[in-house]
Structure 1
Amino acid sequence: MAYPQELINEVLDYLDSGHSVREAERRFGVGHESAARWRRLRDGNLRANRPHPVKYPQDTVRLALGLAYGGHGFGLDEVAVMVGVSAPTISNWKRRYVEGGHMDIPEIDLGEIKHLSPDGRARMTDEELEEYIHKLELKAAVLEGTVKVLKAEGIDDLSNDEKAAIVDALPAGFTVTEALPEVGLSSSSYYYCKAKPERPDRYGRARAAIREEFALVGGKRGYRYIRQRLREREDPIVVSGKTVRRLMAEEGCRVSYAKKRRSYSSYAGEISAAPDNLVARDFHAEAPNEKWLTDITQFSIPAGKVYLSPVIDCFDGMPVAWSIGESPNAELANSMLEEACGQLADGEHPVCHSDRGCHYRWPGWIGICAERGIVRSMSRKGCSPDNSACEGFFGRLKNEFFYDRDWEGVTTEDFIGQLEQYMRYYRDERIKESLGWMSPMQYRKSLGLAA
Structure 2
Amino acid sequence: MGTRVAYPIQIKEMAIKMKQDKIPVKTIMEELGIKNKTQIETWWRWYRHGENHRLVQPVGKQYSYGKGPEELSTETQLKNENNFLKIHIDGVKKIQRVGKDVEPEIFVELVKLMKGKLTITALCQLFEVSRATYYRWTHRKDLGKLTALEEAVRRLCFLHKFRYGYRKIAALINQEYKVNKNTIQKIMQKYHWNCRVKIKKRNKVGQPYKIVENKLNRQFASEAPLKKLVTDITYLPFGQKQLYLSSVMDLYNGEIIAYTIGDKQDTAFVLDTLDQLPKTTDCLLHSDQGSVYTSFDYQNQIKHKGITMSMSRKGTPSDNACIESFHASLKSETFYLDKLTNEPTSIVIETVKEYITYYNEVRIQQKLGYQSPIEYRKSAA
TM normalised by structure 1 equals 0.38
TM normalised by structure 2 equals 0.45
